[in-house]
Amino acid sequence: MSDERIGGVRYQKAQDEYFARRTLRRHARVWSSWALGVGAVISGDFFGWTSGSPSVGSESS
């Protein structure tokens, strides 16, 4: 590995095998997608994304 100094910081050039071991892995499955959707709905309720929903619905007033 070769070192390079820039402003007191030392950088090392990484080998190709370093990046080969650190690839993105697929983790989003049904459970993760469901949890993201539920989280979006709950956070929308708290942050006012659904402020117009009380006026929508049945007219049983």
Q: Are 44 and 33 in contact (CB under 8 A)?
A: no
Cα–Cα distance for residue pair 39/61, rounded to 1 Å: 31
Rounded to 5 degrees, what angle do the CA atoms 16, 20, 25 make?
155
Break the chain into its structural domains and give their ranges: 27-51
pLDDT of residue 59: 53
Q: Give the pLDDT confidence score for residue 19 in this predicted structure.
A: 86
Residues 3-59: tens digit of each pLDDT = 777 888 888 888 889 888 888 877 778 888 899 888 888 877 666 665 555 555 555
Confidence (pTM): 0.35
